[in-house]
Amino acid sequence: MPAMGPDAVFNLLSTERLHLVQLPPDAAWRVLAYHEANREHVSTVSPARPANFFSVTYWRTRLAQDREDFRLDLSLRVFLLPRKQSIQLSPIIGNISLTNIRRGPLQSADLGYGLDHRYEGQGLMTEALRALCDYAFNVMGLHRLQANHLPENLRSAAVLKRLGFQVEGIARELLLIDGQWRDHVLNALIAPGRRG
């Protein structure tokens, strides 16, 4: 990870319409605004949040931890910003994470993502994920990315299919969401040129 000050915005990648950035702790209010705007939209499809999730204090701590986890090669979490606006001031419109990075003979990670409901249907998530998957394979050296979604989440299924992910099965009662254990569709993408 490049050296950067604790208050710097780290622009990891840029696409035609987006910047994929790591934000400093001082940007906690921006992250909170994004999650507040989408709280109701994701309430029935997300696991329970920590009690202080919707607070600036939580996000200041979390953003600092995200940078440390990236430095330690444990995870990578970025936020999506519109490229046509200033990185310092533009609103957050989405997020992507690579978590549970496993090295050694696995070289894999779990992929998660979310998009502000006001920006859905424009191909932005496909654009962002395409860039991040390329980074994961070609810069981070990962071999396999895994992504799961609820069976009824056809929008997420379509995004993963466009990116070349293949369905590998169903995980029964994988996550506790809104008081119920929910099945998830398991998907994976193998680094191009390294399949089979």
- The confidence score (pLDDT) of residue 116 equals 93
Which among 190, 134, 130 is positioned nearest to 159, based on CA atoms? Answer: 130
pLDDT tens by residue, 59-107 = 999 999 999 999 999 999 999 999 998 888 889 999 999 999 999 999 9
Between residues 11 and 167, the one the model is more confident about: 167
Whether 28 contacts 63, CB under 8 Å: yes
Task: State the architecture of 10-190 in CATH terms.
Answer: 3-Layer(aba) Sandwich (3.40)
Identify the weakest region by mean pLDDT among 26-30, 85-89, 119-123, 165-169.
85-89
Which among 129, 106, 134, 119 is positioned nearest to 191, based on CA atoms? Answer: 134
Instruction: Over range 114-123, report the average pLDDT.
Output: 94
Beta strands 144-149 and 108-115, pairing class = parallel
- What is the C-alpha separation between 3 and 25, in angstroms, rounded? 16
